Amino acid sequence: MMTAQAAVSAVELRGISKFFNGVPANQEIDLQVRAGSIHAIIGENGAGKSTAMKILYGIHRPDAGEILIRGDKKIWSTPAQAISAGIGMVHQHFMLAGPYSALENILLGVEIANSSAPLLKRAFESLARPVDRKGAKARLDRLADQYGLRKIDWDLPIETLPVGVQQRVEILKLLYQEASILILDEPTAVLTPQETEELFSNLKKLTKDGKTILIITHKLKEVMSLADEVTVLRAGRVVGRRAVADTKVEELASLMVGRKVNLKIEPPSKPVPRDPVLEISDLHLSTAPGRARRVHPLEKISFSVRGGEVVGIAGVEGNGQSELLQVLLHPRDFSKRNSASVAHATGSVRCLGRVTLNERTRLRAEEIKLLGVGVIPEDRHREGLLLERSMEENFLLGHQKRSAFSSKGFILRKSLRESALRAIEVYDVRPRVIDLEVEALSGGNQQKLIIAREFECEPKLLIAAQPTRGVDVGAIEFIHRRILEAREKGAGVLLVSSELDEILALADRILVMYAGRIVAQFNRGEASEQVLGLSMGGAHA
Amino acid sequence: MTFLRSRIFRSLQPLLAVLIGLVIGLLITRLAGENPWHVLKILINSAFGSRYDIGMTLFYATPLILTGLAVAIPFQAGLFNIGAEGQLTLGALAAAAVGCVFPDIPWPLAPVLAVLAAFFVGGFWGFIPGWLHAKRGSHEVINTIMLNFIAAGIASWVTLYVLKNPESQNPETKAVGAGYLIHHFQSFGDAPLSSAFVLAVVAAILVSVFLWRTVLGFQLRAVGQGESAARTAGIDSGKMKIIAMFLAGGLAGLVGVGEVLGNAGRFRLGFSPEYGFIGIAVALLGKNRPAGVVAAALLFGALHKGTSDLDLETENVTRDLSLILQALIILSVSAVGLWDWFNKGRPMVNGGRT
């Protein structure tokens, strides 16, 4: 059915199955990747994409099935074996050592991985042999030339380089290791549109030189613009293979989710102007003197959010968005009077008419929540949920003092249970097992649980940070609809997202944050993805 | 295999670990040339053989329930309290000091005052590292260890220079007034089992209600479970940690009630055979839950009493077997826990996030 049948595939998986704790993660995965092609693996969270790729890369051993590389059957138990067979992987979270230079990051472990000698001997050899930095640099520059990648300053500490460059370093590292099959796990998650474009053109150049590329993604638009072929996984099984030329985004989305998905949200009605629910003026943040942990500074941030509108903050991650959220939610932690604070904030913030931060006042996080502020935190695992606790307890988190759930300091278990059951029904959290630990839920359902919790008390101000990160297409649709519903009901929404599509679809006003400042402002419909991308990259700074 | 991962099995794990520890321990007595069955019989007999034996087992279990709770509560809040030893020392000293300074207060006001003194002074000794951790970020493990030494120093000074019993060569304080002594249960023979045991069990029940039924307890556990998530939910994590450490210190301090008011009638230096540290093992075995802590404390009490007759009744095994058994049980608990962790540490489907 595919052209791949004609020639030998660069990569072939046959009947791969993998179980974790008896739960199937992969079942009879068949995959053929033509040499010199870009092959996308798509699927919802928990569909088994990463597992399949980790099996190919030697991190997991399959319980059944076989791996063929250029027609040869391979069995490996460590990534080192996969690497020596020419497979390389760029993980979603880069595996880089921050303070080391770009060059050192490439050299780290390379010598050892390429040798087949026993471990101790390898370790000794790599100690005894001085590293040929000049030679390595020259070879890397030649590689960059050969594949048309932009030059990198090899001597700078990697953490000081932009994310796009870090990714280029990761890719060059694979090329340096002579990898011919490259696996990229969600490579565009942290890139600006411009950086994404550059990455894609680089990847296309690589395939011209015979490299084979596997890319894991959930962004269907990227599949369409980049890949040659696509394999769709759902619930651990392959549910479709398509040549990209023969398919459409809508078809891929339905394959992934298993039902028809409406990707377009109806454009929301014009915002009805109401009173401001959040007013920030001249907010500054600077690292406290003598603190080792440095905080991204904020400069002269001023904006407001009115009831009934969505204000989107666009920006590449790490430009101060997290700090802004922290200051809004925990003003007291950034006070000069608090000796434990790592950074000091000045300026003023009013939430729902109350001053939460100014020269004299710093409200506690609890007081701010009680004003009627709902929060969808950036990192749902760390900030949003108690992973090892039940759905019920997680539903209570943050509402434990509301009179609906407690009286005289005791938790009203019956009414808590009833509300929680109703909420997971209404917000369609699955499975509907209230005593289940949240850890066991998929990313999308975890996020729905947070939304259920934060929307239950009808917040007047909703702060939503990366609300759809790592959740599947079906859940994205659901979450977006809920946010717009809250807006219809008159809530003001501050949406912080690095997904441009999300910002463009939801926000009535868009602010672009770059290097700790608001560098541009647009109304709905005024900005294209291109323009936004340029501001996110600092063009208007 | 699925059974081995089920919830029922998980809750039975400590029991399994105890069995493994006991079996290995008894096999060791075999190496020493004893009949393991014989040793086991002595153990059971001398822990539960008579009313007196049962009374002694419960008597030994009493302080361990309290120190077990003193480790378990901070653990639920994400803290490791190694300071129960210092907290119980000062709690006991406070109970004795009240009894020495105001000997004429009548029953039942006297014991109530002494209990309050023990609770609040022990609590204060827990509050210090809790406050330091919450406000200054200094590590509670180091601070509780250091405070143990300071407590020992204070106890020596007060015992030897302030409240010294002039009629005794032993390092002990004067006797507390007669109104302070608490009820001894008559049905356990000469065993000094007092109402302190009831106090400890009631404390465990209250802690259980506190942790799982109250808002404060929920907030405290939320901090231990995920501090960032708790803070985002508006919970003051520092306050919860301070409360956890204060309660822990107070409960450890109550060990002094059984010792001073229920047993010796005075504070004796070095009365605690490291109850505070055994409490760590008790909390570990009891999975940091009050019911588990009570069960584990009873087991350790039984081991302590059970091995007490080994010196007399066997040729080759001494009562130190108690320590070996305790150590083996702790090792098995850790091993079973490790196994659990090992399974859990493996990535779930797709590593949880993609």
Of A128-137, A261-270, B211-220, the poorest mean pLDDT is in A261-270
Residue A250 confidence (pLDDT) above 90:
no
Identify whether residues A131 and A280 lie together within a single domain: no
* Distance separating alpha carbons of residues B294 and B302, to the nearest angstrom: 12
pLDDT of residue B341: 59
Of A3-12, A405-414, B52-61, the poorest mean pLDDT is in A3-12
* Distance separating alpha carbons of residues A315 and A465, to the nearest angstrom: 12
Any domain includes A332: yes
pLDDT of residue A187: 82
Question: Edge-to-edge strand order for the sheet containing A87-90?
Answer: A87-90, A181-185, A212-217, A38-43, A229-234, A237-243
Residue A271 confidence (pLDDT) above 50:
yes
Shortest alpha-carbon distance between residue B37 and chain A (Å): 39
Share of residues in chain B with pLDDT > 90 (%): 68
Residue B348 confidence (pLDDT) above 50:
no
Contact yes or no for A443 and B218 at CB 8 A: no
Of A173-177, A522-526, B230-234, the poorest mean pLDDT is in A173-177
Identify whether residues A303 and A227 lie together within a single domain: no
Query: Taking CB atoms and an 8 Å cutoff, what residues of chain B touch A440?
Result: 348
Query: Taking CB atoms and an 8 Å cutoff, what residues of chain A touch B236?
Result: 364-366
Domain count, chain B: 1
Contact yes or no for B228 and A443 at CB 8 A: no
Contact yes or no for B349 and A25 at CB 8 A: yes
Domain of residue A80: give its range. Answer: 3-257
Shortest alpha-carbon distance between residue B151 and chain A (Å): 28
Q: Assign 3-state DSSP to chain A and report helix, strand, coil percentages, each to 5.
A: 35, 25, 40
Interface test with B, best of A386, A415, A447 (most B CBs within 10 A): A386
Identify whether residues A68 and A110 lie together within a single domain: yes
Any domain includes B16: no
Any domain includes A347: yes
* Distance separating alpha carbons of residues B193 and A178, to the nearest angstrom: 75
Any domain includes A328: yes
Identify whether residues A100 and A244 lie together within a single domain: yes
Shortest alpha-carbon distance between residue B248 and chain A (Å): 20
pLDDT of residue A3: 44
Identify whether residues A243 and A168 lie together within a single domain: yes
Of A122-126, A295-299, A384-388, the poorest mean pLDDT is in A122-126
Nearest to B234 among A383, A398, A413 (CB): A398
AA letter at B219:
Q
Residue B81 confidence (pLDDT) above 90:
yes
Looking at the DSSP bridge assignments, the partners of residue A462 are: A374, A493
Contact yes or no for A397 and B349 at CB 8 A: no
Contact yes or no for A387 and B137 at CB 8 A: no
Which runs of E-coded beta strand occur in chain B?
none
Q: Which of A190, A223, A257 is the last residue of a domain?
A: A257
* Distance separating alpha carbons of residues B47 and A405, to the nearest angstrom: 46
Any domain includes B29: no
Identify whether residues A163 and A280 lie together within a single domain: no
Any domain includes B228: yes
Report pLDDT digits (tens) over A522-541: 998 888 888 887 888 777 65
Contact residues, A window 176-195, toward B, CB-based 8 Å cutoff: 185-186
Query: Taking CB atoms and an 8 Å cutoff, what residues of chain A touch B135?
Result: 339-340
As a whole number, mean pLDDT of residues A147-159 equals 76
CB-based contact (8 Å) between A391 and chain B? no
B274: left (phi over 0), alpha (psi -120 to 50) or beta: left
Give chain A's end-to-end CA distance (angstroms, integer): 51
Of A3-12, A65-74, B305-314, the poorest mean pLDDT is in A3-12
Any domain includes A262: no
Residue B90 confidence (pLDDT) above 70:
yes
Q: Which of A225, A257, A289 is the last residue of a domain?
A: A257
Report pLDDT digits (tens) over A362-392: 999 889 988 999 999 988 888 999 999 999 9
pLDDT of residue A337: 80
Q: Report the length, in residues, of chain A.
A: 541
Residue A394 confidence (pLDDT) above 90:
yes
Query: Taking CB atoms and an 8 Å cutoff, what residues of chain A touch B230?
Result: 386, 397
Query: Taking CB atoms and an 8 Å cutoff, what residues of chain B touch A92?
Result: 354
Contact residues, A window 394-453, toward B, CB-based 8 Å cutoff: 396-398, 400-401, 406, 409-411, 413, 439-440, 443
Structure ipTM: 0.85
* Distance separating alpha carbons of residues A189 and B284, to the nearest angstrom: 42
Q: Helix B51-76 crosses helix B237-253 at what angle (to 10 degrees)?
A: 160
Identify whether residues A150 and A297 lie together within a single domain: no
CB-based contact (8 Å) between A89 and chain B? no
As a whole number, mean pLDDT of residues B233-244 equals 95
Any domain includes A420: no
Any domain includes B25: no
Report pLDDT digits (tens) over B140-168: 999 999 999 999 999 999 999 999 988 88
As a whole number, mean pLDDT of residues A88-109 equals 78
CATH number for the domain including A507?
3.40.50.300
CATH number for the domain including B278?
1.10.3470
Any domain includes A133: yes
Q: Which residue has the higher pLDDT, B237 or A71?
A: B237
Identify whether residues A250 and A202 lie together within a single domain: yes
AA letter at B119:
F
pLDDT of residue A132: 73
Any domain includes B272: yes
pLDDT of residue A397: 94
Q: Which residue has the higher pLDDT, B330 or B306?
A: B306
Domain count, chain A: 2
pTM (2 d.p.): 0.79
Residue A134 confidence (pLDDT) above 50:
yes
List own/partner pairs for A248-251 with CB under 8 A and 24 or more apart.
A249/A220, A249/A221, A249/A224
Any domain includes A394: no
**Range among A199-203, A295-299, B80-84, B185-189 with highest mean pLDDT value:** B80-84
* Distance separating alpha carbons of residues B214 and A401, to the nearest angstrom: 10
CB-based contact (8 Å) between A392 and chain B? no
Query: Taking CB atoms and an 8 Å cutoff, what residues of chain B touch A386?
Result: 222, 225-226, 229-230
Any domain includes A268: no
Shortest alpha-carbon distance between residue B198 and chain A (Å): 24
Identify whether residues A74 and A27 lie together within a single domain: yes
Identify whether residues A296 and A241 lie together within a single domain: no
Identify whether residues A159 and A218 lie together within a single domain: yes
pLDDT of residue B338: 66
